[in-house]
C-alpha cells in the first residue's frame, strides 16, 4: 500500500491519506478507518485513481457527503474515494443542467430554484451529493431523481466511462442499476428541468425545508431514513405505533421526532446502530408481521 500511496502523491491527484477515520466523513459521525482515503481534485484525476486501483487489484468504495451510510467500526478494507469539490462543476443550458457528482444536492436545488427552474424542489432537504442521489435514486415529497435525470456519466471499475440513459439506470424505489448489476461511480448527471414561476418554486422549496426541520432530527448526527417504507405501510409510523420512539442501545437512539431516524446521541458505535436496527426489525415483525428492510447502506469490515 505504501508504494501505491507514493505513486498517487507523486501524481498530485488530490488528497491522499492512510487510515483516515470515516466518522469524519459520514453524517451520523460513525465509522472506522479506511486503509486508503482519496479525494480526487478533478474528473481526470479520478480516472487516474481508478486505473491505479484496477492495476493493483485493490478493493474500492466511493462515497459522497456520507449520508445514508453506516460504516463499520472496523473501517473499510482497500480504498475509499470521496467525491467532493473536485467534482462539483455545473453547466446550465436553458432547462437542461449538467452537474458533477460531488455537488451538494441541497445547494444545487437552492441555486436552480433562484433561476426559475422547476423539478428539484423535492431535493431541498436531502443532505447528500448529486452522485449519491443518482446512485440510490433519492427522493422525497412524491418525487425522485428518476423523474428528472436524462442520463448519467459513469466511471466503471475497469477504467471505462459510459453515458447511461434513464432507462439504462434501471431506477426503482431507492435503487439503481449501480446497486443491482454494475459497479461504477457516478461522475456527472444531466437533469431535464422545466421553466416555472420563480417565487412559487422558492416558496415550495422553503415549505419542504421547513417540513424537514419540523419533523426530522437534523440537530443530531444521523444517516437519514434507516428503513425503506414497507408499502403500503410507512416505516416511521410502524415504529412509532410499536412504542419505539426514544428507545436506545448504547449511544444510538430512535429519534423522538421521527421513528425512521436513528441518531447518534453520544459516542454511538456502528454496532450500537446495528443492534438497534435488529431490535426494530424483530419488534415490528412480532407485532405486525411486517418485514423491515434497511434503506441506509451498511458497509465495511464485518
Residue 238 in domain: yes
pTM (2 d.p.): 0.90
Taking CB atoms within 8 Å and a gap of at least 24, the contacts of 204-211 are 204/121, 205/109, 205/110, 205/113, 205/121, 205/124, 206/124, 208/121, 208/122, 208/124, 208/125, 208/140, 208/141, 209/124, 209/125, 211/125, 211/141
User: Tens of pLDDT along 192-204?
Assistant: 999 999 999 999 9
Residue 211 in domain: no
Is the pLDDT at 274 greater than 90, yes or no?
A: yes
Kindly indicate the confidence band of residue 148, based on its pLDDT and cuts at 50, 70 and 90: very high
Residue that finishes a domain, picked among 31, 56, 85? 85
As for how many domains the chain has, the answer is: 3
Active site residues: 174, 225, 295
* Co-location of 74 and 37 in the same domain: yes
User: Tens of pLDDT along 96-146?
Assistant: 999 999 999 999 999 999 999 999 999 988 888 999 999 999 998 889 999
* Co-location of 196 and 99 in the same domain: yes
Residue 213 in domain: no
Amino acid at each position: 500500500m505504501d508504494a501505491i500511496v507514493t505513486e498517487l502523491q507523486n501524481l498530485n491527484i488530490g488528497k491522499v491519506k492512510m487510515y483516515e477515520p470515516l466518522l469524519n466523513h459520514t453524517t451520523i459521525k460513525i465509522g472506522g478507518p479506511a486503509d486508503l482515503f482519496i479525494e480526487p481534485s478533478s474528473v481526470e484525476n479520478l480516472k487516474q485513481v481508478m486505473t491505479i486501483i484496477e492495476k493493483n487489484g485493490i478493493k474500492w468504495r466511493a462515497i459522497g457527503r456520507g449520508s445514508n451510510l453506516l460504516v463499520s467500526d472496523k473501517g473499510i478494507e482497500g480504498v475509499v474515494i470521496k467525491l467532493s469539490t473536485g467534482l462539483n462543476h455545473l453547466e446550465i443550458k436553458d432547462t437542461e443542467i449538467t452537474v458533477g457528482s460531488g455537488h451538494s444536492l441541497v445547494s444545487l436545488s437552492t441555486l436552480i430554484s433562484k433561476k426559475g427552474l422547476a423539478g428539484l424542489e423535492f431535493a431541498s432537504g436531502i443532505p447528500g451529493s448529486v452522485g449519491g442521489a443518482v446512485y440510490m435514486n433519492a427522493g422525497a415529497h412524491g418525487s425522485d431523481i428518476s423523474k428528472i435525470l436524462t442520463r448519467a456519466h459513469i466511471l466503471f471499475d475497469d477504467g471505462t466511462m459510459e453515458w447511461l440513459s434513464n432507462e439504462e439506470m434501471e431506477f426503482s424505489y431507492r435503487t439503481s442499476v449501480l446497486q443491482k448489476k454494475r459497479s461504477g461511480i457516478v461522475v456527472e448527471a444531466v437533469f431535464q428541468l422545466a421553466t416555472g414561476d420563480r417565487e412559487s418554486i422558492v416558496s415550495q422549496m422553503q415549505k419542504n425545508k421547513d417540513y424537514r426541520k419540523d419533523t426530522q432530527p437534523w440537530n443530531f448526527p444521523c444517516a437519514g431514513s434507516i428503513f425503506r417504507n414497507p408499502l403500503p405501510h410507512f416505516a416511521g409510523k410502524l415504529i412509532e405505533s410499536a412504542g419505539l420512539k426514544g428507545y436506545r442501545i448504547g449511544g444510538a437512539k430512535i429519534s423522538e421526532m421521527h421513528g425512521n431516524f436513528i441518531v447518534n446521541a453520544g459516542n454511538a458505535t456502528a454496532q450500537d446502530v446495528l443492534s438497534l436496527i435488529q431490535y426494530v426489525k424483530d419488534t415490528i415483525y412480532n407485532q405486525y408481521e411486517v418485514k423491515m428492510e434497511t434503506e441506509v447502506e451498511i458497509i465495511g469490515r464485518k
